[in-house]
Structure 1
């Protein structure tokens, strides 16, 4: 029996401080995510971050929470259900790296269902050690303790998949034709510069993604690439999305549309950081029209992408 497992980052189970604390404990405790001296970082995490940050983050999650729960999980569930309708002969499930359903739990369930040929698709288009490799670490850790291991197909990156590229380009074209923005801002989730120096190819993947998307466009908007979600004091990839948006109005950019190609579902980083916080920065600096081009969420064209990827195996 063949199976397909979609894996996303994870999300707090509830928009309250205890649930956010549990999520951040696992997420920020992963050495793939924070690559620094473990003893020093453990003291910072438990002595400074976990006592204070969960309450602040919970307030932000409350701004984006839906009646069905966290947007990230809601859309990941919907993507999984939609993909299942495309494969009557395969079992399709989803798991999360840092929240339920956990990767080991779902892998165990799929083994119980007789899956002996498994395609694993992390829902991060551009490979990074902080996301894709962290996912594979958990998969490999599970199978180290199992007597039987299925045939595994690990999809490390789909940023060059033609359907993915065209789906992003179509969103941009529709926005340009409808709203005529002065600039399309490509905002990718950032990582520390030191990770790139040490060999993480993420920045190159983002640049290549942008080049392919621009080539696929039918329109010819002015564009710029930036990085968001900086965490900590170390230098991160730049230019920073927030600082760029603060500066654009003075440079004559009054109408901006932002797209986040590294996100396949809405989450705190798209719904709050980009569409609320960064919108405020742009408008406060004199911007007149801010448009957030939503991620794929439950759109059928992303299910087409996933089907195309999985059909290879």
Structure 2
């Protein structure tokens, strides 16, 4: 029997089987239960990039106060948005990787989590064991932050991959040469941010445009980003600058007047000063100004998750309704074909740019 002729995608995959791409997201509990949430939060909040308090102070506070008090409450929040196949972040991230795979049949495309499963560390170990020589690492954080993107890069360094960076690089960070013989270490092409990528700006703008075409324009558009302690920004974290630059680029693409949109920060934790203005306070101020309809989009999140679906689309929506207003949440790009095309193009461009760098 004659073997079937391989498709173009199958031929390309056979040619470039030494290259893989990993989409890395933050992570999520495996179930909406106190035990699963406690395990996830312990790993997440044990990262020094996330909480940089002295360990002698932080460990007792984390294990004796925060986890016992928060696990059950947070589990209820997860349960309110849980999907049939898992948490929204896990489901959409997995499906997004599958969509990117269709755009990049010449590569092996996987997804991983910085905290929880599938573990990014284990994914890198498996790729090394499989003989993959080149890995494109794309953290699903459009804006770079030392609390998120840099933590993903830490894992790549620990896994002893040589690194070539694309996008923002933390001050003092140099490309990691994992072995004396550069030919021994697999190469990781690390994409640090994409907050001003033209394709990403266009895809988000079109998503907002489409939502407003179907539901009508609210009086105001709010860009709500995840918050960050102010001291980190004061110490040079580029996150707020990138949030502002991206929001302005999207507003310009939409042709919005300055007074018709606002940038704010959500998801505060702890007592120290965080980036302002806060989303909850901003919504209250808008209501006091007589603005009764607000569209909210969250450009800092690649896919919908607890912070967008429970915090914004449920909790903040209810709070704004109590002030006499209507809040309409615009979903993230999630696993849309447009999102997959954007990320595939970003990866291809990064690979082409870093390939031109000297070894």
User: Above 0.5 in TM-score?
Assistant: yes
Q: Could you say which structure has the larger radius of gyration?
A: 2
Which of 194, 202, 224 is the aligned partner of 1:187? 224
- CA drift of 1:218 comes to 4.4
Matches of 1:142 and 1:303 in 2, distance apart? 27
Deviations 1:104-134 (A, max 9, x none): 2111221233210111000000000011001
Are positions 1:102 and 2:119 aligned together?
Answer: yes
Contact 1:118 1:151 in 2 (8 A): yes
Matches of 2:217 and 2:333 in 1, distance apart? 21
Q: What are the within-5 Å matches in structure 2 for residues 208-219 of structure 1?
A: 208-218=245-255
- CA drift of 1:31 comes to 0.7
Residue correspondences, number: 312
Deviations 1:48-93 (A, max 9, x none): 1011110100011000001101110100110111111122221111
Give the structure-1-normalised TM-score. 0.96
Q: Which residue of the partner structure matches residue 199 of structure 1?
A: 236
Matches of 2:318 and 2:56 in 1, distance apart? 38
- Against the structure 1 CA distance between its residues 123 and 241, is the aligned structure 2 distance closer, same or farther, given a 3 Å change threshold? same
Deviations 1:177-196 (A, max 9, x none): 44121100000001000111
Contact 2:218 2:293 in 1 (8 A): yes
Q: Which residue of the partner structure matches residue 65 of structure 1?
A: 82
- SS at 1:5's partner residue? strand
Contact 1:176 1:219 in 2 (8 A): no
Contact 1:83 1:303 in 2 (8 A): yes
Matches of 1:32 and 1:88 in 2, distance apart? 34
- SS at 1:262's partner residue? coil
- CA drift of 1:219 comes to 5.4
Contact 2:207 2:333 in 1 (8 A): no
- CA drift of 1:6 comes to 0.6
Matches of 1:49 and 1:233 in 2, distance apart? 13
Q: Which residue of the partner structure matches residue 91 of structure 1?
A: 108
Matches of 2:288 and 2:279 in 1, distance apart? 15
Q: Which residue of the partner structure matches residue 257 of structure 1?
A: 295
Which of 27, 32, 36 is the aligned partner of 1:15? 32
Matches of 1:8 and 1:86 in 2, distance apart? 19
Structure 1 moving runs of 4+ over 3 Å: 144-148, 175-178, 218-221
Matches of 2:276 and 2:255 in 1, distance apart? 28
Are positions 1:276 and 2:314 aligned together?
Answer: yes
- CA drift of 1:305 comes to 1.0
Which of 187, 207, 213 is the aligned partner of 1:151? 187
Which of 254, 272, 275 is the aligned partner of 1:237? 275
Deviations 1:168-223 (A, max 9, x none): 11122233444121100000001000111111110001011011112211455810
- CA drift of 1:144 comes to 7.2
Structure 1 segments unaligned to the other structure (5+ residues): none
- Against the structure 1 CA distance between its residues 106 and 64, is the aligned structure 2 distance closer, same or farther, given a 3 Å change threshold? same
Matches of 1:243 and 1:159 in 2, distance apart? 25
Give the structure-2-normalised TM-score. 0.84
Matches of 2:273 and 2:256 in 1, distance apart? 34
Deviations 1:208-262 (A, max 9, x none): 1011112211455810000000000000001110121123222111010000000
Matches of 2:342 and 2:322 in 1, distance apart? 38
Are positions 1:170 and 2:215 aligned together?
Answer: no
Matches of 2:118 and 2:212 in 1, distance apart? 39
Contact 1:15 1:61 in 2 (8 A): yes
- CA drift of 1:140 comes to 1.0
Give the aligned CA root-mean-square deviation in angstroms. Answer: 1.6
Which of 263, 277, 301 is the aligned partner of 1:225? 263
Matches of 2:188 and 2:161 in 1, distance apart? 13
Matches of 1:114 and 1:216 in 2, distance apart? 43
Matches of 2:157 and 2:304 in 1, distance apart? 28
